[in-house]
Amino acid sequence: MQKSTRSPLTGKDVAGAGMFLLSANLLFAAVGAGIGALFGAALALGIIGFLIGFLVGIYLVIRRFRGY
């Protein structure tokens, strides 16, 4: 197994991870609510979009910070 040559995580890295999570949550919730508004189910699809956004946000953080 290779040893990582990266420096340890800083507060800026942690803030970036939080922004990935928040951005994905808000983006997917907005898309879900927008699609739901067309079909009369804005709240339900907004919540589903938020949950999908949470999973996508976790995926983005794992991809970005893998190896630390």
Q: Which pLDDT does position 10 carry in this prediction?
A: 79
Whether pLDDT at 9 is above 90: no
- Cβ contact 21:56 at 8 Å: no
For the stretch 21-68, pLDDT in tens is: 999 999 999 999 999 999 999 999 999 999 999 999 999 888 888 776
* Residue with token string 């040893």: 3
Query: What residues does each domain of the chain span?
Result: 25-65
pLDDT level of residue 2 (50, 70, 90 thresholds): low
Among 5-9, 18-22, 49-53, the minimum mean pLDDT is found in 5-9
Instruction: Please report, in angstroms and rounded to a whole number, the separation of the first and last CA atoms in the chain.
Output: 13
Q: How many CB atoms lie within 10 A of CB 57?
A: 22
CA atoms of 64 and 68, how far apart (whole Å): 10
Provide φ and ψ at 7, rounded to 5°.
-75, 160
Q: How many CB atoms lie within 10 A of CB 12?
A: 8
